[in-house]
């Protein structure tokens, strides 16, 4: 017996087309105008978008070590609710994901308790201290898909060059958090309108862009696949665009919050607007949208970064950087970029599925016969307010509370298994 998703809307060459999808075992067995339901379970998804499950190459699951913020169980439940079936998790755990043991522990937990596929990213340097390279070969053997010291920048050029050489020899992408400490130190928001108004120390744009420029030169010299994390400034976008034109192997990701908000939008000293990199200027925000449009920026990621309520209540200067993102990403992008016509639905879906799969050489992210049945079903009609108290994440730290959005995922399948289902998708009323 298989499962049929009946009368869903599939994106085919940019058009929405009504189709049935038959899932057998863990695979998509058939996609057709109409599939006979006899002998199968049938789920009515009439009028709803059926897409490949989303892939997020940048999340913080916090386990091991920071289970008060999030666990692999709650983080992947949050992912499933957001329509994500694959998440890559950053190594700034405790201990840092810098040994094969931690990688194996994450993979084991994910298998036992996970509602999404988890791809660990290993640390570039031991304890992310920037002093000594990790044993990347052993980490790769254990199952990492890339290396990163996310949370901190690699401060010296020599360390980054050594890391790139090592990663290249192993075929691992270098995923870089770009931040020059000598420029960023002590800042809590973007250096600009908001920091001036409130007398706060700012993080200037160059703190990011200088690393991007340095790393592009190093990537060119070493032949590395260099991937820029959470790109946030106009200058970084320009640098990546020029590097791509010259044929450097550079890719980039952007977060929904940097596409939709700028420092002018921060209402006051609320740490739910504090993340790293910070919300930049309107000009930067516009450059990110343009970069995403023209392909300079390859993919969208959430940088889901849960923290406890107590931590986030410490105020703008003392609270940790980071906001959650998995459960609001698609509704935000759909409502704020697709519905107003800035991006097509296909453009947004591709940057959350096929493109990250292509860039990181992953076998998921497509909805076609013979593919693994990682699927998101999305209600494009019903408008609902963002309500953090409903989040499956332990984190409630979002600046989007109360936003009225459409495009809420209602059913998520991982390898053919339903891992999340909204109440309204209770199977009653479906008929063969
Ligand atoms: N983005 C953030 O603001 N915070 C991240 C670290 C990071 O992504 O650099 C975190 O781990 O909390
Ligand atoms: Zn980062
Ligand atoms: Zn991060």
- 162 C-beta closer than 6 A to ligand 1: no
What's the CA-to-centroid distance between 321 and ligand 1, angstroms? 6
Pairwise CA distance, residues 266 & 385, whole Å = 19
Q: How far is CA 130 from CA 152, 167, 224, 350, in A?
A: 9, 15, 19, 34
Could you tell me the pTM of the whole model? 0.98
In the predicted structure, residue 430 carries a pLDDT above the cut 80? no
With both helix axes pointing from N to C terminus, report the angle between 72-81 and 100-113 in degrees, rounded to the nearest 10.
Answer: 50
Neighbouring C-alpha atoms within 13 Å toward the C-beta of 414? 23
Nearest atom (ligand 1) to Cα of 151: 9
Q: What is the pLDDT of residues 276-333, one digit of tens each?
A: 999 999 999 999 999 999 999 999 999 999 999 999 999 999 999 999 999 999 999 9
CATH code given to domain 3-50+371-425: 2.30.40.10
- Mean pLDDT of the 129-136 span: 98
Domain boundaries, the chain: 3-50+371-425, 55-359
- 150 C-beta closer than 6 A to ligand 1: yes
Task: Please report the ipTM that was assigned to this predicted complex.
Answer: 0.99
- Mean pLDDT of the 379-406 span: 98
- 89 C-beta closer than 6 A to ligand 1: no
- Mean pLDDT of the 212-234 span: 98
pLDDT at 431: 45
* Radius of gyration from C-alpha coordinates of the chain: 21
In the predicted structure, residue 132 carries a pLDDT above the cut 50? yes
Domains 3-50+371-425 and 55-359 share a fold: no
Q: Which of 303, 350, 374, 379 is catalytic?
A: 303
Tokens of 274: 């504090």
Mean pLDDT across the chain, nearest whole number?
97
Nearest atom (ligand 1) to Cα of 230: 8
Known binding residues for substrate are 60-62, 92, 276, 307, 321-322
With both helix axes pointing from N to C terminus, report the angle between 234-245 and 206-222 in degrees, rounded to the nearest 10.
Answer: 20
Q: What is the pLDDT of residues 231-290, one digit of tens each?
A: 999 999 999 999 999 999 999 999 999 999 999 999 999 999 999 999 999 999 999 999
What's the CA-to-centroid distance between 138 and ligand 1, angstroms? 25
In the predicted structure, residue 337 carries a pLDDT above the cut 70? yes
Would you say 378 and 102 are in contact if contact means Cβ atoms under 8 Å apart? no
Query: Is 286 considered catalytic here?
Result: no
- 177 C-beta closer than 6 A to ligand 1: yes
Pairwise CA distance, residues 340 & 211, whole Å = 34
Q: What is the pLDDT of residues 49-94, one digit of tens each?
A: 999 999 999 999 999 999 999 999 999 999 999 999 999 999 999 9
Tell the residue nearest (CA) to atom 9 of ligand 1: 151
Would you say 31 and 375 are in contact if contact means Cβ atoms under 8 Å apart? no
- 351 C-beta closer than 6 A to ligand 1: no
In the predicted structure, residue 427 carries a pLDDT above the cut 70? no
Report, at the CATH architecture level, how domain 55-359 is classified.
Answer: Alpha-Beta Barrel (3.20)
Query: Which ligand is located closest to the Cα atom of residue 121?
Result: 3
> What's the pLDDT band for 432 if we cut at 50, 70, 90?
very low
In the predicted structure, residue 426 carries a pLDDT above the cut 90? no
């Amino acid at each position: 017996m298989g499962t049929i998703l009946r009368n869903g809307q599939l994106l085919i060459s940019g058009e929405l087309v009504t189709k049935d999808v038959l899932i057998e075992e863990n695979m998509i067995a058939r996609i057709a105008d109409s599939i006979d339901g006899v002998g199968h379970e049938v789920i009515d998804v009439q009028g709803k978008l059926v897409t490949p499950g989303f892939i997020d190459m940048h999340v913080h699951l916090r386990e091991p070590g920071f289970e008060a913020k999030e666990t692999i169980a709650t983080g992947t439940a949050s992912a499933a609710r957001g329509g994500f079936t694959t998440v890559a998790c950053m190594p700034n755990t405790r201990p840092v994901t810098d040994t094969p043991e931690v990688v194996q522990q994450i993979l084991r937990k994910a298998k036992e308790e996970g509602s999404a596929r988890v791809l660990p990213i290993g640390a570039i340097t031991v304890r992310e201290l920037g002093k000594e390279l990790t044993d990347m070969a052993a980490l790769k053997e254990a199952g990492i898909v890339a290396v990163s010291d996310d949370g901190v920048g690699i401060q010296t050029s020599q360390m980054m060059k050594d890391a790139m050489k090592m990663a290249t020899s192993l075929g691992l992408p270098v995923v870089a958090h770009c931040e020059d400490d000598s420029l960023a130190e002590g800042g809590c928001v973007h250096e600009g309108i908001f920091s001036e108004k409130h007398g706060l120390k700012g993080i200037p744009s160059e703190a990011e862009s200088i690393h991007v420029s340095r790393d592009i030169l190093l990537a060119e010299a070493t032949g590395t696949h260099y991937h820029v994390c959470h790109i946030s400034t106009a200058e970084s976008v320009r640098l990546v665009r020029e590097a791509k034109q010259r044929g450097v192997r550079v890719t980039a990701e952007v977060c929904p919050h940097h596409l939709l908000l700028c420092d002018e939008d921060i209402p006051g000293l609320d740490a739910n607007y504090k993340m790293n990199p910070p919300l930049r200027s309107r000009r930067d925000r516009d450059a990110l949208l343009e970069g995403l449009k023209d392909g300079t920026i390859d993919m969208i990621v959430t940088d889901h970064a849960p923290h406890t309520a107590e931590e986030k209540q410490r105020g703008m200067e003392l609270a940790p950087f980071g906001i959650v993102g998995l459960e609001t990403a698609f509704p935000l992008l759909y409502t704020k970029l697709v519905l107003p016509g800035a991006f097509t639905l296909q453009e947004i879906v591709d940057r959350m599925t096929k493109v990250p799969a292509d860039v990181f050489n992953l076998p998921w992210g497509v909805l076609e016969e013979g593919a693994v049945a990682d699927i998101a079903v999305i209600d494009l009609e019903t408008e609902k307010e963002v309500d953090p108290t409903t989040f499956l994440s332990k984190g409630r730290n979002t600046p989007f509370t109360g936003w009225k959005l459409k495009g809420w995922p209602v059913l998520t399948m991982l390898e053919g298994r339903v891992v999340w289902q909204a109440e309204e998708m209770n199977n009653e009323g479906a008929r063969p």
